Amino acid sequence: MTDLKPGDLLLIGEACSVQFAGDRALRLRLVSVDPRPTYHGWVWLTGYVLNDKGLAVDKREVFVQQAGLVSAAVPRIGVKKRPSGYSRGDTAWVPPSSSATTHSTGGV
């Protein structure tokens, strides 16, 4: 993988470096690529490690073989739908029924 850009989701595994073998592999949301020269084929990456739900849990800087990087599928984070009757400008939820109900207090 040669075209790395911020926002890419990468699988960092054993092909990148032996330290990421087995259960030490991680998914990294790329923040930056260090432009300074390193050993041929190696690169410093900075990014956020994602958990199984696709949420960032740690910021890491890793030194990896660029040829071992694999682009990962973007995790789908569940977004709760707003209940019907709610619009972006509303500050409170309004029931879908537009009929107003009145309550009598009884003559106390």
104: pLDDT confidence band, cut at 50, 70 and 90?
Answer: low
Helix (H, G, I), strand (E, B) or coil at 33: strand
Q: What is the pLDDT of residue 31?
A: 97
pLDDT in tens, 11-46: 999 999 999 999 999 999 999 999 999 999 999 999
Tell which residue, 91, 88, 71, has the closest CA to residue 1: 71
Q: How many helices (H) and strands (E) does the chain have?
A: 0, 5
Of residues 98 and 31, the one with the higher pLDDT is 31
* pLDDT tier for residue 72 given thresholds of 50, 70 and 90: confident
26 vs 10: CA distance, rounded Å: 8
Please list, in sequence order, all residues whose beta carbon lies within 8 angstroms of the beta carbon of residue 59, skipping any fewer than 6 positions away: 31, 46, 47, 48, 49
Beta bridge partners of 45: 33, 62
pTM of the model: 0.66
CA distances from 49 to 12, 14, 29, 65, 94 (A): 10, 16, 6, 18, 39
